[in-house]
Chain A
Amino acid sequence: MSKNAHSARSDQTQKGQQEQILKVENLRKTFGGITAVADVSFHVEKGSITGLIGPNGAGKSTTFDLITGVQRPDGGEVEFNDTEITGYRSDQVANQGLVRTFQIARELSEMTVLENLLLAPQNQAGEAVWRAVLPRARTKVVEQEKELREQAWEMLELFEIEHVAHESAGNLSGGQRKLLEMARVLMTDPEMVLLDEPLAGVNPTLEEKLIDRLHTLKERGYTFLFVEHDMDVIMNNCDTVIVMHQGSVLTEGQPEAVKNNDRVLDAYLGEEVKI
């Protein structure tokens, strides 16, 4: 794969180039008679922003489900950081450093924005019930909670949603929910994030902000695989694009090449593109 897709923004990621962080081979899933994912294989480079596009019903969300253990694949393999994670439960996958957001934002509506964020970090000392209770052990819990609180506020600042920190997540606007969802997965301190239509329903100002954050985070070394319907967004921001159609990978490559691929156009013309 060529390197010129990588913009000048990330000069550090230029080095460890060929490293593949996620490898998906021959993934398959059927629901009754419907084949949602027929045969999907692709690789994602470490430190890249990779776009996953395809008409509605192409199987993108299901592919995410299969990678992250929300659903069990009927066949195929998933490898993350050279560890085979096929069939892992979703918490195990997350613990490997691979997390995802859901297409329809799934904020925990009865919890405040800050609580949502504090929930996410992995292996918190206070998740053991005895530490949460016993006076001496609890000092450590409180220490950690303070650290996490700092982190959470930083994250809120990054996404510019500090003003709703104490609001119930259920009261947020659609766009704010998307931001919260992204902030929340980042709080798990992942290596790679799968974003399922993070820009859907987000107004243009916010959209720009979100994309900007994506690049900031990429520079910090995160890898992103994200689903998006807006071709312009994909062309301008992705290092590589994977195109899915009817449960299979149609093609993959640099944005320019994909854009000019006739089969991609055909796939899209066959199906209305909705956001």
Chain B
Amino acid sequence: MSTGSIQARAEGWLGNNDVRLLVALALAIGGLYALFSVVLGFQLNGTVNTLRRVAFLSAIYAMLALALNLQWGYAGLFNLGAAGFMAIGVYTMGILAAPVTASPPGFGLPLPVAIVAAILVTGVVGGLAALPAIRLRADYLAIVTVAFSEIVRLTLRAPEFANTRIAGVAFGTGGATGLSLPSNPIRILFYTDPAATAPAPNALGAAMFSAVEPLGIEQTLVIGWAYVVVLCLCLGLLYWLMIRIGKSPFGRVLKSIREDQQVTQALGKDTRLFKIKTFALGCALMGLIAILWRLSGGYASPRMFKPIQTFYIFIALFIGGTGSPTGSIVGGALFASLLFEGPSFVRRVVAEYLQLSNAPDTLVGALAELGTLDVTPLLAYSVQDVSISALRLMLLGTVLVYLMQRHPDGLLGHRKAIASSVDLAQQATREDDNE
């Protein structure tokens, strides 16, 4: 492919309204966080780290929303078990990649092999789960899938499989304590021997680290940002993939299944097969994304895969708009930056501005002070760890109810893009009619 055509393509992309919207959104969110950090006089390292965290979670939730959108937005398959499939992906990868000498022992496979195998396993399990489940009504499908994800989580948590031996092969899930995962693979870029305890930086690493050191930015942060860049590339790829699928004849069949399955079938489409494939593909993607998510932390535990995790993704999806890949990314980014990370940032702002005295022990105590028109005790009570996270989830619940009441197809509305690989208006022998 010539450079000219690549350039033309890039221009085409940037001229694309949706891409411009996404870039603008990223800049706006980043700017908002940066602005607050600067105004509040946070350390540069801390600010850059906050931005990294927000960007990381935005990319992850955008990708998860894209995968869920394939199932729900495109095909109308209500999968309330996303967390379970994520867990299957992460744990399969973790168990396959863990060294045979580790505790619990694994299979010692190279990381790329383990990741590919994990994606396949998640896809196959998704397909098998879909086999009977797709006959069910949407609400029963929701209950079945959420129960399935709980079965997965409880099984991973069970002490019986924490460190076990089946047919002579020793392996384990680590039970309730969780499972160590391979270290962040992006470190290869910066270190000569990333596995060592105090690894020496390679040429790129040395250059990067010394460049940012005067700014007070730590090595781990450089690595973290490099990982975010890789994630954003993955996100771009997935976005492109989803748009392609949406515009393909495959996507067209999904669109019509969502609207009227009986008609689709009467036109000769084996709707069951389409649904199973879509479900499997979506689950495989969820497995992969979850791997990307957990690899940066190097650790997985069953607690991370509770149903609330699935609800997070649905909230992201519904914020953006079901059926639209652009909407999924917008939703993922807004969810992660404003709803998920926002409250704890606000809390830091509050703590910075108001010199809060010790928080009252109970809500009753906090409310009692309201009588004297002093709101600080209530604020102090509200920004404690437990209360702020509760408030955050109350906010999420409210947002979900609001969306369902006012915008059940999401803020960006339902899918409008035409499902065709070619421009339907164009036609060799015909001029456009634009009456």
Q: Are A166 and B425 in contact (CB under 8 A)?
A: yes
Of the residues A68, A94, A99, A108, contact of B260 by C-beta under 8 Å: A108
Total interface residues in chain B, CB < 8 Å: 41
Complex alpha-carbon distance, A122 and B419, angstroms: 16
Judge if B392 is at the interface, Cβ distance under 8 Å.
Answer: no
- Chain B's nearest CB lies how many Å from the CB of A103? 13
Give Cα A31–Cα B430 distance, bound, in whole angstroms. 51
Inside 8 A of B251's CB, which chain A residues have their CB? 132
- Inter-subunit contact A145/B268 (CB<8 Å): no
Among candidates B249, B415, B422, B433, residue contacting A127 with C-beta atoms closer than 8 Å:
B249
How many angstroms from the CA of A70 to the CA of B268 in the assembled complex?
A: 12
Among A159-203, those with CB < 8 Å from B are 162-163, 165-166, 184-185, 188
A115-B420 contact given A108-B260, A128-B250, A149-B427, CB 8 Å threshold: yes
Please, what's the 1-or-0 string for B222-250, where 1 marks a CB less than 8 Å from any CB in chain A?
A: 00000000000000000001001100111
| Contact flags B249-280 to A (C-beta < 8 A → 1, else 0) | 11111011001101111111111001001000
The answer to the question of A153 belonging to the interface, with a C-beta cut-off of 8 Å to chain B, is yes
Residues of B near A102 (CB, < 8 A) are 263, 266
Whole-angstrom CA separation of A128 from B251 in the bound complex: 10
CB distance from B324 to the nearest CB of A (A): 13
Nearest A-chain residue to B430, judged by Cβ: A153
Report B-chain residues with C-beta under 8 Å of the C-beta of A122: 268
Q: Is the CB of A108 within 8 A of B263?
A: yes
The answer to whether B267 and A166 have CB atoms under 8 Å apart is no
How far is B270's CA from A125's CA once the two chains are assembled, in angstroms?
14
User: CB distance B418 to A112 under 8 Å?
Assistant: yes
Complex Cα gap A188–B266 (Å): 10
Residue of A nearest to B271 (CB): A91
Q: How far is the CA of A159 from the CA of B145 in the complex (A)?
A: 45
Partner of B269, one of A91, A125, A153: A91
> A122-153 interface mask toward B, CB cutoff 8 Å, 1 = contact, 0 = none?
10111111011100001001100110011011
User: A interface, how many residues as a size bin?
Assistant: 35 or more
Q: Type the 1/0 row for B325-357, where 1 means its CB is closer than 8 Å to any CB of A.
A: 000000000000000000000000000000000
Task: Decide if B255 touches A111 in the complex (CB within 8 Å).
Answer: yes
Q: Are B241 and A99 in contact (CB under 8 A)?
A: no
Let me know if A90 and B265 touch, CB within 8 A.
yes
Give the CA-CA distance A70 to B264 in the complex, in Å.
11
Q: Does A106 contact B (CB under 8 A)?
A: yes
CA distance A145 to B249 in the complex (A): 8
With A and B bound together, what is the CA distance between A166 and B249 in angstroms? 17
- Select one of B248, B260, B267, B426 contacting A126, CB under 8 A: B248
A110 part of interface (Cβ distance < 8 Å): yes
Beyond A70-B262, A115-B424, A153-B427, whether A132 also contacts B245 by CB under 8 A is yes
Residue contact A132 to B425, C-beta cutoff 8 Å: no
Kindly identify which residue among A68, A124, A132, A133 contacts B266, using a CB–CB cutoff of 8 Å.
A68
B277, B420, B427: the one within 8 Å of A150 (CB): B427
Q: Nearest Cβ in chain B — how far from A181, in angstroms?
A: 9
Taking A127-B250, A166-B424, A188-B267 as contacts, is the C-beta distance between A90 and B244 under 8 angstroms? Answer: no
Give Cα A192–Cα B246 distance, bound, in whole angstroms: 31
A120 within 8 A of B: yes
Chain A nearest CB, measured from B282 CB (Å) = 11
Beyond A118-B420, A166-B425, whether A185 also contacts B267 by CB under 8 A is yes
Is residue A235 within 8 Å, beta carbon to beta carbon, of the partner chain? no
- B421 CB–A CB distance under 8 Å: yes
Docked complex: A21-49 residues within 8 A CB-CB of B: none
A83 proximity list for chain B (CB < 8 A): none
Contacts A110-B259, A115-B420 given; indicate if A90 touches B266 (C-beta within 8 A).
yes
> In chain B, residues 374-433, which have Cβ atoms closer than 8 Å to a Cβ of chain A?
414-415, 418-422, 424-428, 430, 433
**Given A102-B263, A111-B259: A133 in contact with B268 (beta carbons within 8 A):** no
Which residues from chain A contact B268 at a C-beta distance below 8 Å?
A: 91, 94-95, 99, 120, 122, 188
Complex: A70 Cα to B261 Cα, angstroms: 11
Q: Does B435 sit at the interface, judged by CB under 8 A?
A: yes
CB of B281 within 8 Å of the partner chain: yes
- Chain A residues closer than 8 Å to B250, beta-carbon distance: 126-129, 132
Is there contact, CB below 8 Å, between A124 and B427?
no
* B256 x A111 contact (CB < 8 A): yes
Q: Is A141 in contact with B248, judged by CB distance below 8 angstroms?
A: yes
Question: What is the CA–CA distance of A130 and B261 in the complex, to the nearest angstrom?
Answer: 23
CB proximity of B266 to chain A, nearest CB, Å: 5
Kindly identify which residue among B259, B274, B435 contacts A109, using a CB–CB cutoff of 8 Å.
Answer: B259
Q: CA–CA, A118 to B415, complex, Å?
A: 18
Q: Is the CB of B255 within 8 A of A132?
A: no
A119 touches B (CB below 8 Å): yes
CA distance A95 to B267 in the complex (A): 8
Say yes or no: is A225 at the interface (Cβ < 8 Å to chain B).
no
Closest 10 CB pairs of A and B: A132-B248, A94-B268, A126-B249, A124-B249, A145-B422, A145-B421, A106-B263, A132-B250, A114-B424, A126-B248
Please list 22 pairs of residues, one from A and one from B, whose beta carbons are closer than 8 Å in the complex, sorted by A's number.
A91-B266, A91-B271, A94-B267, A99-B266, A108-B256, A108-B260, A111-B252, A111-B259, A115-B252, A118-B420, A126-B421, A132-B244, A133-B241, A133-B248, A141-B248, A141-B249, A145-B249, A146-B422, A149-B424, A150-B427, A184-B267, A188-B268
- Chain A interface (Cβ within 8 Å of chain B)? 68, 70, 89-91, 94-95, 99-100, 102, 106, 108-112, 114-115, 118-120, 122, 124-129, 131-133, 138, 141-142, 145-146, 149-150, 152-153, 162-163, 165-166, 184-185, 188
Contacts beyond the supplied A115-B420, A127-B269, A129-B250: 8 A-B pairs with Cβ under 8 Å: A91-B271, A106-B263, A108-B255, A115-B252, A118-B252, A126-B248, A133-B248, A166-B424
